[in-house]
Amino acid sequence: MLEELIILVQIIFIDIILAADNAIIIGLIAANFVPKNRKKIILWGVAGALVFKILFAVFCNIPIPILLD
């Protein structure tokens, strides 16, 4: 039980770090555009990051037959 809890905390910690990294990159990109477009750029950046995070999580849980041998 303790091992699973440690793994969960590690995953949450990594997810927080990656989310902060995404926010910094999206902010840096949006800063180069006119203020009128910044909200739209931030929205699309966050949406894209969320979609990729979900896709990567799904693909990480698909068993690869060659690795199971």
pLDDT (tens digit per residue) in 21-66: 888 888 899 999 999 999 999 999 889 888 888 888 777 777 777 7
Residues 6+ apart with CB under 8 A from 26: 41, 42, 45, 46, 49
How many Å apart are CA 13 and CA 21, to the nearest integer?
Answer: 12
pTM of the model: 0.63
- pLDDT tops 80 at residue 6: yes
Which of 54, 50, 53, 29 shows the shortest CA–CA distance to 41?
29
